[in-house]
C-alpha cells in the first residue's frame, strides 16, 4: 500500500520531490514572465513560434489561464493603475485583499468582457487556442495532475500538483500585484505606487523588479542597476543566442555629453526619454536643500520647478518648438535662481544625450 501511495515511475526521496516541485514551478514562472508578460502583453520581444507554443501548452497544463485574458487584464492594470478601474491595486483595494485574494480579483476581471475586448488584441487565435486551450481549461490541469501522480506516486504527485497550481496565484497575482505596489524600493519616480520588492529577481522570474517595469513597460529587461538581477532576462538572452528570440526594446541607458549652451530638440528628446532618471536626480537635489541649510523659499521653488519640468513630457498638445522654448526658459530660470542644487542640476540636465 505504501509503495502505491509514494512510488511512481520515479522513486525519489522527499528532497527529490521538493526539487521537482521547485523546478516545475520555476518553468511556469518563466512561461509567465517571458511569454505572457514581456512577449504577449508588452511586445518587448519576439519568440520563435515553437517556443511560444511550448509556453502556451505548459501554461494550459499548469495554470488554466487564457493568454488573451491575462494580457488584457495586465494591459488594463497599466492603463488604469492605482484607480478604481485597476483590477488589482492595493492602494485602492487594500494590501490584504490583493495579496491573499489576487487570484479572485483576476478571475473576476476575466468575466468582464469589455476588458478582454478592449485590451486583449494580438493574442493567439489559432485552432488550438479556440478549440482546446480556451475551451477546455480544466482538461489541461487534469492531465498535469494525472501525470504528476503517475510519475511520482499518489501522495508526492498530489502535493507537487497542488504546489504547481498555487504558485502563480500567490506569487504573481498576490505578491507582485500586491507587495509590488505597496512595499519596497523605487529606482524611478513613476506616477504610480510600483516598487521593486528585492533587487534579485529569481523566485518570480525577475518580476520582483516591478518599479523598473512600470518605468519602462516595453523593456524586455527588468533590471536597471548594476546590483539587480533579472533571471527572466537571462533566459531571454539564452533564447536569443539560440536564434529563438529577438529582443525589440530595452530600457534606455542614460548617456551624457558636453553641456549644451542652448537647449535644443535633441536635448528635449533625451530629457523625455530619460525622464525617470531625470526625476531621480532631481529628488537628490531636493534632499540637498536641507543639507545646505537653505530656506523654505528655496524648497518651495524647487518643488514648483519640478512640476514645470514634468509638464514638459505631459503636455501632448504642445509642439516640439514650444517644448524646446519652455526647456530653454526652465534652464535659464533655474540657473538664475541662486539655489545651488537647482543650478547644478540644470547644468547636469544640459549634458543628457
pLDDT band at residue 8 under the 50/70/90 scheme: confident
End-to-end CA distance of the chain: 71
pLDDT digits (tens, 9 = 90+) for 42-56: 999 999 999 999 999
Q: What is the pLDDT of residue 296?
A: 81
Q: What is the pLDDT of residue 110?
A: 96
Q: What is the pLDDT of residue 264?
A: 94
Position with higher pLDDT, 290 vs 164: 164
pLDDT digits (tens, 9 = 90+) for 195-234: 999 999 999 999 999 999 999 999 999 999 999 999 999 9
Q: Are 223 and 230 in contact (CB under 8 A)?
A: yes
Q: Are 255 and 353 in contact (CB under 8 A)?
A: yes
SS3 sequence of the chain: CHHHHHCCCCCCCHHHHHHHHHHHHHHHHHHHHHHHHHHHHCCCEEECHHHHHHHHHHHHHHCCCCHHHHHHHHHHHHHCCCCCCCCCCHHHHCHHHHHHHHHHHHHHHHCCHHHHHHHCCCCCCCHHHHHHHCCCHHHHHHHHHHHHHHHHCHHHHHHHHHHHHHHHHHHHHHHHHHHHHCCCECCCCCCCCCCECCCEECCCCCCCEHHHHHHCCCCCCCCCCCCCEEHHHHHHHHHHHCCCEEECCCCCCCCECCCCCCCCHHHHHHHHHCHHHHHHHHHHHHHHHHHCCCCHHHHHHHHHHHHHHHHHHHCCCCCHHHHHHHHHHHHHHHHCCCCHHHHHHHHHHCCEC
Q: What is the pLDDT of residue 279?
A: 87
Q: In this structure, what are the phi and psi dihedrals at residue 196, rounded to the nearest 5 degrees?
A: -90, 120
pLDDT digits (tens, 9 = 90+) for 221-269: 999 999 999 999 999 999 999 999 999 999 988 889 999 999 999 999 9
- For residues 351 and 348, give the distance between their C-alpha atoms in angstroms, rounded to a whole number: 5
C-beta neighbour count of 63 within 10 angstroms:
23
- For residues 129 and 135, give the distance between their C-alpha atoms in angstroms, rounded to a whole number: 8
Q: Are 105 and 87 in contact (CB under 8 A)?
A: yes
- For residues 79 and 83, give the distance between their C-alpha atoms in angstroms, rounded to a whole number: 9
Global model pTM greater than 0.75: yes
Q: What is the pLDDT of residue 290?
A: 61
pLDDT digits (tens, 9 = 90+) for 52-80: 999 999 999 999 999 999 999 999 999 99
Q: Which of 9-13, 67-71, 180-184, 207-211 is predicted least confidently?
A: 9-13
For residues 170-184, average pLDDT: 95
pLDDT band at residue 291 under the 50/70/90 scheme: low
Q: What is the pLDDT of residue 294?
A: 58
Q: Is the pLDDT of residue 308 over 60?
A: yes
Q: Is the pLDDT of residue 2 over 60?
A: no
Q: What is the pLDDT of residue 201?
A: 96
pLDDT digits (tens, 9 = 90+) for 155-172: 999 999 999 999 999 999
Position with higher pLDDT, 278 vs 34: 34
Q: What is the pLDDT of residue 1?
A: 46
Grid cell listed for 193: 505606487
Amino acid at each position: 500500500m505504501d509503495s502505491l501511495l509514494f512510488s511512481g515511475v520515479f522513486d525519489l526521496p522527499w528532497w527529490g520531490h521538493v526539487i521537482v516541485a521547485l523546478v516545475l514551478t520555476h518553468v511556469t514562472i518563466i512561461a509567465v514572465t517571458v511569454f505572457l508578460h514581456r512577449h504577449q502583453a508588452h511586445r518587448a520581444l519576439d519568440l520563435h513560434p515553437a517556443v511560444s507554443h511550448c509556453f502556451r501548452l505548459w501554461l494550459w497544463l499548469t495554470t488554466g489561464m487564457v493568454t488573451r485574458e491575462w494580457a488584457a487584464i495586465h494591459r488594463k492594470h497599466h492603463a488604469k493603475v492605482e484607480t478604481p478601474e485597476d483590477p488589482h491595486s492595493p492602494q485602492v483595494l487594500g494590501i490584504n485583499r490583493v495579496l491573499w485574494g489576487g487570484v479572485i480579483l483576476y478571475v473576476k476581471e476575466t468575466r468582464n468582457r469589455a476588458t478582454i475586448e478592449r485590451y486583449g488584441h494580438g493574442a493567439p487565435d489559432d485552432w488550438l487556442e479556440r478549440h482546446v486551450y480556451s475551451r477546455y481549461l480544466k482538461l489541461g490541469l487534469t492531465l498535469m495532475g494525472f501525470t504528476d501522480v503517475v510519475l511520482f506516486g499518489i501522495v508526492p504527485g498530489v502535493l507537487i500538483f497542488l504546489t504547481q497550481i498555487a504558485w502563480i496565484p500567490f506569487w504573481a497575482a498576490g505578491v507582485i500585484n500586491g507587495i509590488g505596489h505597496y512595499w519596497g524600493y523605487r529606482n524611478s519616480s513613476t506616477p504610480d505606487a510600483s516598487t521593486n520588492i528585492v533587487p534579485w529577481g529569481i523566485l518570480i522570474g525577475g518580476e520582483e523588479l516591478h518599479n523598473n517595469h512600470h518605468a519602462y513597460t516595453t523593456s524586455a529587461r527588468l533590471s536597471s542597476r548594476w546590483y539587480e538581477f533579472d533571471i527572466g532576462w537571462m533566459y531571454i538572452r539564452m533564447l536569443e543566442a539560440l536564434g529563438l528570440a529577438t529582443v525589440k526594446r530595452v530600457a534606455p541607458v542614460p548617456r551624457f555629453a558636453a553641456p549644451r549652451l542652448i537647449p535644443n530638440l535633441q536635448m528635449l528628446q533625451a530629457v523625455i526619454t530619460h525622464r525617470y532618471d531625470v526625476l531621480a536626480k532631481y529628488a537628490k537635489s531636493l534632499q540637498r536643500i536641507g543639507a545646505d541649510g537653505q530656506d523654505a523659499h528655496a524648497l518651495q521653488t524647487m518643488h514648483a520647478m519640478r512640476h514645470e519640468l514634468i509638464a514638459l513630457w505631459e503636455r501632448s498638445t504642445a509642439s516640439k518648438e514650444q517644448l524646446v522654448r519652455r526647456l530653454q526658459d526652465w534652464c535659464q530660470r533655474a540657473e538664475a535662481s541662486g539655489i545651488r542644487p537647482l543650478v547644478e542640476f540644470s547644468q547636469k540636465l544640459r549634458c543628457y544625450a
